[in-house]
Amino acid sequence: MKKIIECVPNFSEGRDRSVIDAIAGAISSVAGIKLLNVDPGEAANRTVVTFVGEPEDVVEAAFRGSAKAQELIDMRRHHGNHPRSGAIDVLPLVPVAGVTLEECAVLARALAERMYRELGIPCYCYEAAAFRPERKNLALCRAGGYEALPEKFTDPVRRPDFCGEWDERAQRSGASQVGARDFLIAVNFNLDTTSVPGASAVACDVRESGRKGPDGRRIPGILKGCKAIGWYIEEYGIAQVSMNITDIAATPLHVAFETVCRAAAARGLRVTGTEIVGLVPKKVLLDAGRHFLGKLRRRTDVPEADILGMAVEGMGLDELRPFDPEERMIETLARI
């Protein structure tokens, strides 16, 4: 079986198309790489890039993309409403075919070491590539964002796994999170409000970590394997619940959607649509489509195109912009 891995780096530039294109071009310069998706977000000032290939090619493409991002992005001038700490903020390797998560973790650690050794980019290793148990959690690695890095560099416990001094080069690049993980769904649920506190309250209701209670103890949220925050997106004029579903077996996308709908309704709010960031496995949309067909008491043994169309309709995937399922399913684009 041919070995295939996916890489989904998030770069801290979502507004300057020339920078985004240069990074994508550096990635595509590696023979054997298939660039699947480039998804910039203006308000987040962040671009999610998705590409696949054989392990050695993917690692080389990730390195070249990182080198170009380091050259063109200065974190000292970066502003956006998404948590971030580096120009190459997160860089996960994902097993697709013929490769284990453990093998991806070994590759991720070697890539992080090379990024620091050759480019001087400080790196944390997270999720399956973490050197320490607490660093499996991306949020803990990135805690405090870019602004917290000067203090973290002086703390032996919180320093990046690969780093030197907080010098001008580190200040420019910030710190990257390089890791290995299974498939993740990045999704934003649109609300009929501009209230960030309202969106944040819904996010706390549903995310696995929940919220702190009056006594300081944590009250867990509803959804397993989900992280979420609330934010306002100026380009859309709405607040959203922004979510990462890290365990799509425990929490399918349509379950997350229905849960956010109920949590929002309990607070007098309404989910008006859904924005998927990047790509998703085909099964995610098929399962969602069958769910909504079932809710309408309609047959589910219908053509796939009808099932996918029901997923789009049921979750309002086309509310903010046209949504073509064929352009958002990793299997279709990668032809795997």
Element (H, E) at 16: none
pLDDT in tens, 280-304: 999 999 999 999 999 999 988 899 9
Catalytic positions are 82
Provide the pLDDT for residue 114: 99
Residue 251: DSSP 8-state: S
Q: State the first-to-last Cα distance of the chain, in angstroms, to the nearest integer.
A: 12
Provide the pLDDT for residue 336: 61
d(CA 170, CA 330): 34
The answer for residues whose C-beta is within 8 angstroms of residue 41's C-beta and 6 or more apart is 14, 47, 48, 82, 277
How many residues comprise the chain? 336
Domains of the chain, first to last: 4-180 (3.30.990.10), 185-334 (3.30.70.670)
Could you give the angle at the alpha carbon of 65 between the alpha carbons of 59 and 317, nearest 5°? 95
- Per the prediction, the chain carries an average pLDDT of 96
Residue 330: CB atoms within 10 A of its CB come to: 23
Tell me the angle at which helices 253-266 and 282-295 cross, rounded to the nearest 10 degrees.
Answer: 50
pLDDT in tens, 54-71: 999 999 999 999 999 999
> In the predicted model, is pLDDT for residue 28 greater than 80?
yes
pTM, two decimals, is 0.87
